[in-house]
Amino acid sequence: MDETVQSVLDQSYPHWECILVDDGSQDGSWGVIQEWVKRDARIRGVQQENKERSAARNHGARQAKGNWLCFLDSDDCYLPDFLAVLAEQIHTQPTPPSLWLTGFYIWDGQHCQQAEMPIPKEPLADWLCQYPATPSRVCVDASAFFEFCFREDIVIVEDTVLWVQLLNRFRLGYLPQPLMKYRVHEGNSVHSSSRAIFKRHQGLLAFFKTPESGLISTKVKRFLLADVLFKMADWERQQGNTPSTLRYLLLSLRQQPFNKHTPARMFNLASCIPGFSSIWNTLKP
């Protein structure tokens, strides 16, 4: 959290407020928040019962006084000009887009690599689902945000649901310049080594039952489900659960037999056959 909050204090644009939401933590986070509140009058802390990320973001947004909202996750960081670049774009346009996305760096805590992101193209809902926008690289008009807010009944992919809703009503502004650092670690919901990948599957199923999902093509929906099922199979494989590995691999292939993961899925499927690993190792050069 310290690195994250410090990245806000380091902004070259000074006209901001930072609201730190303690979502019923039990790890001493509230004490850390209080120390930051003492350091700068622009920082405020609020508490709530543990209700997960969507409720925490909505609660923080309701406390905000500004006309534009940014959502910085506690493991990500802004680059010093994040707010300055966004403010310049917003203030110099007569009718600026209501939703902005920036480029970003992928960060493991030590090394940064610029993420390769294609330019947005129509249909935007399909593009956004294939190249999800984490909240830390988003800026949204507060009045547009409060027409929808984050869905509190969807724990993971709640951000994609909101962006799709907004894009159905408002224009998108895109800044390819990397302006924040997204920290990758095993706790990320898209990481196959994290148990959270199962919650992502549940979130996608809930998302595809919403009216907004009608904006997304069947092909993209099937890819997303095939992808998450493949990662669930990989998690089960790492745990040594062969029956569950087979089940999720077959479900993934059923959703979409041919995509970029097909060779890996077929190899993992063959790996479930007794003796395959030994045979494969003997064939290695």
For 58-79, the pLDDT digits (tens) are: 999 999 999 999 999 988 999 9
Please count the other Cβ atoms lying within 10 Å of the Cβ belonging to residue 73.
16
Give the per-residue pLDDT at 272: 86
Give the per-residue pLDDT at 75: 87
Give the per-residue pLDDT at 204: 94
SS (H, E, C) 37-73: HHHCCCEEEEEECCCHHHHHHHHHHHHCCCCEEECCC
- Count the residues in the chain: 285
Instruction: Tell me which of 51-60, 209-218, 233-242, 274-283 is least confident.
Output: 274-283
Q: What is the mean pLDDT of residues 189-208?
A: 79
Give the per-residue pLDDT at 279: 63
Average pLDDT, the chain: 91
On the question of pLDDT at 250 being above 70, the answer is yes
Give the per-residue pLDDT at 222: 97
Q: Using one digit for the tens of pLDDT, what is the confidence trace for 255-277?
A: 999 999 999 999 888 888 886 66
Domain segments of the chain as ranges? 65-183, 217-283
Q: What is the mean pLDDT of residues 72-98?
A: 96
Nearest-angstrom CA–CA distance, 227 and 206: 16
Torsion angle (degrees, nearest 10) of CA 157, 159, 161, 163:
-150
Q: What is the mean pLDDT of residues 8-25?
A: 96
Nearest-angstrom CA–CA distance, 128 and 138: 12
Q: What is the mean pLDDT of residues 78-97?
A: 97
Q: Using one digit for the tens of pLDDT, what is the confidence trace for 17-52?
A: 999 999 998 888 999 999 999 999 999 999 999 898
On the question of pLDDT at 193 being above 70, the answer is no
Q: Is 108 exposed, middle or buried (0-12, 13-18, 19+ CB in 10 A)?
A: exposed
Q: Using one digit for the tens of pLDDT, what is the confidence trace for 108-131?
A: 877 889 998 899 999 999 999 999
Give the per-residue pLDDT at 155: 77
On the question of pLDDT at 282 being above 80, the answer is no
CATH class of 65-183: alpha beta
Q: Is 111 exposed, middle or buried (0-12, 13-18, 19+ CB in 10 A)?
A: exposed
Q: Using one digit for the tens of pLDDT, what is the confidence trace for 151-183?
A: 998 878 999 999 999 999 999 999 999 999 999
Give the per-residue pLDDT at 133: 94
Q: What is the mean pLDDT of residues 74-90?
A: 96
Nearest-angstrom CA–CA distance, 147 and 141: 10
Give the per-residue pLDDT at 57: 96
Q: What is the mean pLDDT of residues 84-112?
A: 93
